[in-house]
Amino acid sequence: MGTKLEHTNLGGFQQILEQQQVELVHVLRVRDGIAIEKSADPMDEIQYATERDLAIHSADLESNLLRDVRAALRRIRDGTFGTCVECEAAISPKRLAALPWAMRCIECQDAADGDRQERTETLDEILVGA
């Protein structure tokens, strides 16, 4: 098939992912520090609340990414790295170079994103109707 990734290549991805994991853990730890920071000054408190909301929002994104990075490292160990979890096609090397933690090929990712959007719209309709 010629779609299997070179072993050396895999080692490179593992290194990138491990480094990414360390960085994300660090960033999340620093963000946790911001999130619990408090001030007695009401004006500062408003400012902090905004920063806290932003920090919590991006911490969400980062913990999602961290989960994906850890899952990718797991897939390197069990030998399924670089294979789409949906259709089992090889994920393009270009996509992996940009997103080493990608677990779906571009087609399945698009489909998954589309699904999510539809689901959100449906949920909105339910909420509006309630």
Applying CB under 5 A, the residues found at the interface with Zn ion are 84, 86-87, 105, 108
Instruction: Output 65 or 111, the one with its CB closest to Zn ion.
Output: 111
Instruction: Output 55 or 100, the one with its CB closest to Zn ion.
Output: 100
Residue 85 CA, distance from chain mean position: 15
Instruction: Output 31 or 95, the one with its CB closest to Zn ion.
Output: 95
Cβ-contact 103, 74 below 8 angstroms: no
CA distance 44 to 49: 8
CB of 83 to Zn ion, least distance (A): 9
CB of 121 to Zn ion, least distance (A): 24
Q: Which residue has the tokens 């779609």?
A: 3
Instruction: Output 59 or 105, the one with its CB closest to Zn ion.
Output: 105
CA distance 110 to 56: 27
CB of 85 to Zn ion, least distance (A): 8
CB of 107 to Zn ion, least distance (A): 6
Q: Within 10 A of 103 (CB to CB), how many other CB atoms are there?
A: 20
